Chains A and B, each alone.
Chain A
Amino acid sequence: MSKRIDVKDLNVYYGDFLAVEDVTINIEAKSVTAFIGPSGCGKSTFLRTLNRMHEVLPGARVEGEVLLDGDNLYGPGVDPVTVRSQIGMVFQRPNPFPTMSIRDNVLAGVKLNNKKISKGEADVLVERSLKGANLWNEVKDRLDKPGSGLSGGQQQRLCIARAIAVEPQVILMDEPCSALDPISTLAIEDLINELKDQYTVVIVTHNMQQAARVSDRTAFFNIAGTGKPGKLIEVGNTHTIFSNPTQKATEDYVSGRFG
Chain B
Amino acid sequence: MTSTLTPVRSKRSALTKGQLPKYAPYVVLAAALILGAAVLALVGFNAFGWGVVSAILFAIGLVSWSAAVEGSRKAKDKLATCLVVGSFLVALLPLVSVIWTVLVNGIPGLLTPGFLSSSMNGVTGVYDRRAVEEGAPVLGGIYHALLGTVEITLLATVISVPVGLLTAIYLVEYGRDGRLARAITFFVDVMTGIPSIVAGLFAAAFFFAVVGPGTKTGAVAAVALSVLMIPVVVRSSEEMLKIVPNELREAAYALGVRKWRTIVKVVIPTAISGIASGVTLAIARVIGETAPILVTAGFATSINSNVFSGWMASLPTFIYTQILNPTSPANPDPSSQRAWGAALVLIILVMILNLGARLIARVFAPKTGR
What B residues does A53 contact at CB under 8 A? 250, 253-254
What B residues does A95 contact at CB under 8 A? 245, 247-248, 250-251
Residue-wise, chain A 82-110 has the 8 Å CB interface mask toward B (1 for contact) of: 10111011010101111100000000110
What A residues does B251 contact at CB under 8 A? 91, 95-97, 159, 162
| Chain B 239-287 residues near chain A, CB threshold 8 A | 245, 247-258, 261-262, 265-266, 269-270
Question: How far, in Å, is A44 (CB) from chain B's closest CB?
Answer: 12
Q: Given B247, B248, B257, which contacts A81 in the complex, CB threshold below 8 Å?
A: B257
Q: Given A93, A98, A114, which contacts B261 in the complex, CB threshold below 8 Å?
A: A114
A142 within 8 A of B: yes
A92 to B261, CA, bound (A): 24
A148 within 8 A of B: yes
What A residues does B265 contact at CB under 8 A? 111-112
By beta carbon, the residue of chain A nearest B251 is: A95
Specify the main secondary structure of chain B where it touches its partner: helix
- Are the C-beta atoms of A146 and B255 separated by less than 8 Å? no
Q: A81-B257, A81-B258 are in contact. Are A99 and B370 (CB under 8 A)?
A: no
| Chain A 117-167 residues near chain B, CB threshold 8 A | 142, 145-146, 148-150, 159, 162-163, 166
What A residues does B366 contact at CB under 8 A? 98-99, 146, 148
Q: Given B253, B254, B256, B370, which contacts A82 in the complex, CB threshold below 8 Å?
A: B256
Question: How far, in Å, is B139 (CB) from chain A's closest CB?
Answer: 52
- Are the C-beta atoms of A162 and B266 separated by less than 8 Å? no
What B residues does A149 contact at CB under 8 A? 368-370
B367 within 8 A of A: yes
Question: How far, in Å, is B265 (CB) from chain A's closest CB?
Answer: 5
Q: Given A58, A88, A93, A150, which contacts B255 in the complex, CB threshold below 8 Å?
A: A88
Q: A53-B250, A95-B245, A113-B261 are in contact. Are A108 and B370 (CB under 8 A)?
A: no
Q: Given B176, B250, B256, B370, which contacts A166 in the complex, CB threshold below 8 Å?
A: B256
A183 within 8 A of B: no
What A residues does B367 contact at CB under 8 A? 98-99, 146, 148
A7 to B255, CA, bound (A): 22
A224 within 8 A of B: no
What A residues does B247 contact at CB under 8 A? 91, 93, 95
By beta carbon, the residue of chain A nearest B262 is: A112
What B residues does A163 contact at CB under 8 A? 254-255
By beta carbon, the residue of chain A nearest B178 is: A58
A91 to B251, CA, bound (A): 8
By beta carbon, the residue of chain A nearest B269 is: A99
Question: How far, in Å, is B239 (CB) from chain A's closest CB?
Answer: 18
Most chain A CB inside 10 Å of its own CB: which residue of B250, B254, B266: B254
A142 to B370, CA, bound (A): 8
Total A-B pairs in contact (CB under 8 Å)? 89
A203 to B5, CA, bound (A): 58
A91 to B253, CA, bound (A): 12
A145 to B270, CA, bound (A): 16
Interface size range of chain A in the complex: 20 to 34
Residue-wise, chain B 307-350 has the 8 Å CB interface mask toward A (1 for contact) of: 00000000000000000000000000000000000000000000
- Are the C-beta atoms of B249 and A56 separated by less than 8 Å? yes
A99 to B272, CA, bound (A): 10
A49 within 8 A of B: no
By beta carbon, the residue of chain B nearest A172 is: B254
By beta carbon, the residue of chain B nearest A92 is: B247
- Are the C-beta atoms of B256 and A84 separated by less than 8 Å? yes
- Are the C-beta atoms of A84 and B369 separated by less than 8 Å? no
Q: A53-B250, A148-B366 are in contact. Are A98 and B256 (CB under 8 A)?
A: no
By beta carbon, the residue of chain B nearest A114 is: B261
Q: A95-B248, A97-B248, A99-B270 are in contact. Are A148 and B255 (CB under 8 A)?
A: no
- Are the C-beta atoms of B250 and A91 separated by less than 8 Å? yes
A51 within 8 A of B: yes
A71 to B12, CA, bound (A): 82
What A residues does B261 contact at CB under 8 A? 112-114
- Are the C-beta atoms of B245 and A85 separated by less than 8 Å? no
| Chain A 170-228 residues near chain B, CB threshold 8 A | none
Question: How far, in Å, is B260 (CB) from chain A's closest CB?
Answer: 11
By beta carbon, the residue of chain A nearest B255 is: A109
What A residues does B254 contact at CB under 8 A? 51, 53, 84, 88-89, 91, 163
A93 to B246, CA, bound (A): 12
Question: How far, in Å, is B181 (CB) from chain A's closest CB?
Answer: 12
A187 to B272, CA, bound (A): 35
Q: A91-B247, A97-B248, A149-B370 are in contact. Are A112 and B266 (CB under 8 A)?
A: yes
What A residues does B269 contact at CB under 8 A? 99
7 smallest CB-CB distances across A and B, nearest first, come from A85-B256, A98-B366, A89-B254, A109-B255, A95-B247, A149-B370, A84-B256
A to B CB contacts below 8 Å, 6 in the list: A97-B251, A97-B270, A113-B258, A113-B261, A145-B369, A148-B368
